[in-house]
Chains A and B, each alone.
Chain A
């Protein structure tokens, strides 16, 4: 019984130890070395054997695109930076999303580990810079729609379908949107974070009331920008294709990843001896959250897939053809692994009540989801950017390590800046006696 426990001391500072700093620096170094090796291999042509194996693309659309931008090995490098930048943008912004809807719902139970989602969005500026950098350096190679000839009736490249999307997909508007996303998300997070830190010092309910207002404002902003950013970051890569479910789909993917990161951090910190006030009911609720949004992601994934399967329109089915059998079938494995890791496995192991209260199962499920959704973004980004030249080599693993190290560093240094539980939060009593 949770309420029978004595509540441990609430003065607890997270210590970002020199040892963990060293470990993160090592993994960052390994990442850089792996990327360098991968880049060297690609540049020297060792990776080109994949090209010979690959059969020709899934359809005329790809052949048509292939005709006017030649593949360079750097495309794979930049596609990887893009993939990780988008993945970790999601992982960061979901921290803010979680905080905001918990404020709006006036939820009390989540206060016990509120500092963790609160620490996540600090990484946004870095992914924002990465996104802009890739767009400026390699936007032309990754994004078909940036080719000016597509919009020029006189050009042989002219494409009436893409020309019809000009009002939305043009470089100035695109850049304005991307900058706006990061400024709004990060800016609103800074406001909420400052309220939270000031609440620690001065107490009272004013900061709580103001946080509800700004959290709600963020939800309004995110309601629109989560969809548009999904179109901009991911869907615009496959310029001809569109899905009306794509905004939700990407949000679902980001959201469950964020929840898995929160859960994993809570469990890890508990195992290191922190967060003693978190009881089994908190863990159970986090497990339920992961379980529910695993199903939600699958629901959206399947809804998008089934409509396209059912209607059987060539311009829509090409998307799944490319991923399931196109490019010599190289995307078939990630496509299936994605479903296995994002749905089948977490769904089955998180099913029972006891599983959701057990550290090891929660960790397993969280890792499954975190890795699985990397494949989700891999499947959505790689076919449209590098096509048959994709693969899993040092460059992929290295890039994951670089971004993950950065994310963990940013998370830990934010956690170290404040007491691990907001001591003056009005819902503190409720969260300490959380019992379901």
Chain B
């Protein structure tokens, strides 16, 4: 996940193997270096734990989007059938909630799904006019990149480069945004 506010000078370690990068994350962190983010062509099991990312809050977002759908559907069905134009169908009350469960369910799912697509675009900094920040183009192919924000580390650039090399980086590049 890229941060929309990425700027400044970064040191990018390039790795060839997912096991190596996972191990390197632990070593680099143990050496006292703050890792900005790791980029991989595919999900690596245990990487988020190793990086110390907090638990995702996507569940809360999904719940709130779903809840807004539920409330919309309740309001819609109640207003139209219970208040604006009451109709008796099949001998039931004009507003009988059981009948509207499918509507409520569908709108909940719809709002949740669309909301999550929006969340995905916003949290990943994607959009029609946005130019994505790439630390290394090869992370879309077969390489793994570990980005280190130099402004957030007190250790010198050459020391960090040494640490990265020692933990298995095939090459270390500088990236300026």
Seen from chain A, the residues whose Cβ lies within 8 Å of a Cβ on chain B are 1, 3, 302, 306, 309-312, 435-436
B46 in contact (CB, < 8 A): yes
6 cross-chain pairs, A with B, having the tightest CB-CB distances, nearest first: A312-B90, A435-B45, A1-B46, A312-B91, A309-B98, A310-B99
20 residue pairs A–B, Cβ–Cβ below 8 Å: A1-B46, A1-B49, A3-B45, A3-B46, A302-B101, A306-B98, A306-B99, A306-B101, A306-B102, A309-B98, A309-B99, A310-B90, A310-B99, A311-B90, A312-B90, A312-B91, A312-B92, A435-B45, A435-B46, A436-B45
In the docked arrangement, what's the CA distance between A3 and B49, Å? Answer: 12
| Proximity string of chain B (44-67) to chain A, C-beta cutoff 8 Å, 1 when within and 0 when not | 011001000000000000000000
CB proximity of B50 to chain A, nearest CB, Å:
8
- In the assembly, what is the distance between CA of A435 and CA of B50, in Å? 14
| Nearest chain B residue, comparing its CB with the CB of A299 | B105
The number of chain B residues touching the other chain, given as a range, is 10 to 19
The count of A-to-B residue pairs whose CB atoms sit within 8 angstroms is 20
Q: Could you tell me the distance between the alpha carbons of A16 and B133 in the complex, rounded to whole angstroms?
A: 61
| Residues of chain B lying within 8 A (CB to CB) of residue A3 | 45-46
| Nearest-Cβ distance from residue B87 to partner chain A, whole angstroms | 14
B99: chain A residues at CB < 8 Å are: 306, 309-310
Across the interface, name the chain A residue whose C-beta is closest to B89.
A310
Q: 6 new A-B pairs (CB below 8 Å) besides A306-B98, A309-B98, A309-B99?
A: A1-B46, A3-B46, A306-B102, A310-B90, A312-B91, A312-B92
Query: How distant is B118 from chain A, measured CB to nearest CB, in Å?
Result: 23
Q: Given the complex, which residues of A lie within 8 Å of B98, measured CB to CB?
A: 306, 309
Q: How far is the CB of A288 from chain B (nearest CB, A)?
A: 14
In the assembled complex, the CB of B93 is this many whole angstroms from the nearest CB of chain A, namely 12
State A346–B150 Cα separation when bound (angstroms).
49
A288 to B156 CA separation, bound complex (whole angstroms): 47
> Which B-chain residue is minimally distant from A4 (CB atoms)?
B46
Contact indicator per residue, chain B 84-126, by CB within 8 Å of chain A (1) or not (0): 0000001110000011011000000000000000000000000
